[in-house]
Structure 1
Amino acid sequence: MVEINRRPKPTDLLPIGEIVRRTGVPASALHFYERKGLIQPERTPGGTRLYPRHLERRIAIIQVAKRLGIPLSEIAEQFAQLPEDRMPSLRDWNRLNRSWRARLRARQLEIERLQRDMDQCIGCGCVSLGSCLVVNPDDSLAADGMGARMLLPIEDEPA
């Protein structure tokens, strides 16, 4: 008998089409995440994938992490610390968030440093200037010869 007005449970099993509809993530991406060990659907005896509803939150976290530039390998490391049989909690999210915020802040500081360094660049394309802090700090390319060393063809390449 089908229960009417039953409240959905995190352990309810959903077919892949429903997970695709609810998350907006293509089935091919879900299969990829499965191969990477990020999500683990259950399988029917016939091999059909059924996804516990709580995996929707993991999939959402993967999407957020990807937008932040977090590699899937790091997401997998973080997910390894979470129980597989339940939805990541707010506490779990806060721990991930703190870790990823620190990483983002470091990237932000690096971008700000590069922006400051670019103010020293006149955009001429010559990377052998002693004052070029972006590509050639301390004029390290001067030992390789004159001119725009990084823009010259490599010896094995046709000019």
Structure 2
Amino acid sequence: MDVPNLTVGKVAERCGVKVSTLHFYEEKGLIRSWRNQGNQRRYKRDVLRRISVIKAAQKMGISLENIRQALSCLPDSRTPNKKDWEKLANFWREDMNQRIAYMEKLRDSLTGCIGCGCLSMETCPIYNNEDELSKQGTGAILLEKEAGE
């Protein structure tokens, strides 16, 4: 069994994150540590790979909550292996494809405004006179409708 012997500082240094990031990840249930007799955090060596997976997923735009849910499906909260990563990647691929499609539609719907830069009240597709759109809900209703969300 891997003895939890890495200090929080060593893990932060090896992973290129701040100590506060490790505390945050731990608070969110993404990683875990143990306390030694002096009440200091200690980590198993496999936490280095787990943090790498978290950072890679974050770079892909995956939310920490989505990462937490995916990692929680692993038996005994173990670190993902190659086969696990393939499953996680396939799971996240569909989410990424949906976000890419949404962003492409959003980009395409803004071309007129971005192109001229005037935000004309007569022709702007996102102008909301007298806040009429508030009756339909919150947020950027026209942009989301244009983008197909």
Give the deviation of 1:76 after TM superposition.
1.1
Question: How far, CA to CA, are the matches of 1:25 and 1:36 in structure 2?
Answer: 16
Q: Which amino acid letter does the alignment assign opposite residue 98 of structure 2?
A: A
- In structure 2, C-alpha distance between the alignment counterparts of 1:127 and 1:68, rounded to whole Å: 36
Cα distance between partner residues in 1 of 2:41 and 2:131: 58
1:32 and 2:29 correspond: no
Quick check: 2:29–2:68 contact (8 Å CA) kept in 1?
yes
Q: Is the 8 A contact 2:71 2:77 kept in 1?
A: no
Does residue 1:57 correspond to 2:49, yes or no? yes
RMSD value, Cα: 2.3
- Per-residue CA distance 1:35-55 (angstroms, 9 max, x = gap): 111111111122111101111
CA drift at 1:126: 2.7
Bigger radius of gyration: 1
- Separation (CA, whole Å) in 2 of partners of 1:94 and 1:83: 16
Aligned to 2:117: 123
Look up the match of 2:142. Answer: none
CA gap 1:126/1:56 in 2 versus in 1, 3 angstroms: same
CA separation in 2, counterparts of 1:127 and 1:47? 62
Unaligned runs of 5+ in 1: 1-8, 146-159
**Superposition pairs for residues 1-159 of structure 1, below 5 Å?**
11-13=2-4, 14-84=6-76, 86-121=78-113, 122-127=116-121, 129=123, 132=125, 135-136=126-127, 141-142=128-129, 144=131
Equivalent-residue separation in structure 1 for 2:118 and 2:35 (angstroms): 60
Aligned in 2, Cα 1:144/1:30: closer, same or farther, shift over 3 Å? Answer: closer
Offset, 1:144: 4.9
Equivalent residue number for residue 3 of structure 1: none
Superposition misfits of 4+ residues, deviation over 4 angstroms: 142-145
Name the TM-score, length of structure 1 as normaliser: 0.70
- SS of residue paired to 1:87: coil
Identity %: 35
Deviations 1:30-80 (A, max 9, x none): 011111111111111221111011111111111112222222111111111
Aligned to 1:150: none
C-alpha distance in 2, partners of 1:94/1:127? 49
Question: Paired residues, what number?
Answer: 129
Greater per-residue helix proportion: 2
Query: Quick one: which amino acid aligns to residue 12 of structure 2?
Result: V
TM-score normalized with structure 2 length: 0.74
